[in-house]
Amino acid sequence: MSTIDLSKFEKKMIIRNIKPDDIDEILALQKLSFPGMDPWKKEQLESHLAIFPEGQICAEYDGEIIGSCSSLIVNFDEYDDQHTWDDITDEGYITNHNPEGYNLYGIEVMVHPKYRGMKIGRRLYEARKDLARELNLKSIIIGGRIPNYHKHSAEMSPREYVEQVIHHKIYDPVLSFQLMNGFTLMRINPGYLPDDLASNKYATLMEWNNVDYVRRSKRHFKTSFPVRICVVQYMMKQINSFEEFATQVEYYTDVAYDAKADFCVFPEIFTTQLMSFLNEKIPSKAVQRVAEYTEEYIELFTNLAVKYNVNIIGGSHFVEEDNGDIFNIAYLFRRDGTIEKQYKVHITPNERKWWGISPGDKVEVFDTDCGKIAIQICYDIEFPELARIATDKGANIIFTPFCTEDRQGYLRVRYCSQARAIENQIYTVIAGTVGNLPETENMDIQYAQSAIFAPSDFEFARDGIVGECNPNIEMVVIGDVDLEILRRQRQSGTVRQLKDRRHDVYNIKYKK
- DSSP class per residue in 184-212: EEEEEETTS-TT-GGGTT-EEEEEEE-TT
Question: Domain 11-219 is in which class?
Answer: alpha beta
Catalytic member of 268, 351, 364, 468 = 268
**Cβ-contact 261, 478 below 8 angstroms:** yes
344 part of the active site: yes
Q: Would you give per-residue pLDDT tens digits along the chain (512 residues)?
A: 456 665 555 557 889 999 999 999 999 999 999 888 888 899 999 999 999 999 999 999 888 999 999 999 998 888 877 788 888 998 899 988 999 898 999 999 999 999 988 889 989 999 999 999 999 999 999 988 898 999 999 999 999 999 999 999 999 988 998 899 899 999 998 988 888 888 998 989 999 999 999 987 544 445 678 999 999 999 999 999 999 999 999 999 999 999 999 999 999 999 999 998 988 888 889 899 999 999 999 999 999 998 898 999 999 999 999 888 999 999 999 998 899 999 999 999 989 888 999 999 999 999 999 999 999 999 999 999 999 999 988 899 999 999 999 999 999 999 999 999 999 999 999 999 999 887 777 677 889 999 999 999 988 988 999 999 999 999 999 999 999 899 888 888 899 888 888 878 888 888 86
Q: How far apart are CA 56 and CA 76, in angstroms?
A: 19
At how many degrees (to 10) do helices 384-392 and 42-51 cross? Answer: 60
Q: Is residue 177 within a helix (H) or strand (E), and if so which, with residue range? A: helix 175-180
**Cβ-contact 185, 166 below 8 angstroms:** yes
Identify the pLDDT of residue 336: 87
511 part of the active site: no
Catalytic member of 264, 344, 351, 393 = 344
Q: Is residue 276 within a helix (H) or strand (E), and if so which, with residue range? A: helix 275-278
Identify the pLDDT of residue 39: 85
Which of 18, 58, 76, 6 has its CA nearest to residue 491? 76
Q: How far apart are CA 430 and CA 274, in angstroms?
A: 22
Residue 509, CA atoms < 13 Å, CB-side half-sphere: 5
Residue 135's φ and ψ, nearest 5 degrees, are -90, 5
Please report, for residues 379, 396, 455, 463, the alpha-carbon distance to residue 458 in angstroms, rounded to integers and kept in the order given: 30, 18, 9, 10
At how many degrees (to 10) do helices 407-424 and 384-392 cross? Answer: 40
Domain spans in the chain, listed from the N-terminal domain onward: 11-219, 226-492
pTM flag (> 0.95): no
Identify the pLDDT of residue 1: 47
Identify the pLDDT of residue 218: 46
Give the CATH superfamily of 226-492: Carbon-nitrogen hydrolase (3.60.110.10)
Q: How far apart are CA 295 and CA 339, in angstroms?
A: 13
Identify the pLDDT of residue 109: 92
Q: How far apart are CA 473 and CA 450, in angstroms?
A: 10
Residues in the chain, overall count: 512
- Specify the pairing of strand 357-358 against strand 103-111: unpaired
Identify the pLDDT of residue 2: 55
Judged by phi (left if over 0) then psi (alpha if -120 to 50, else beta), residue 366 lies in: beta
Identify the pLDDT of residue 444: 72
Identify the pLDDT of residue 500: 86
Q: How far is CA 55 from the centre of its chain?
A: 16
Catalytic member of 230, 370, 378, 416 = 378
268 part of the active site: yes
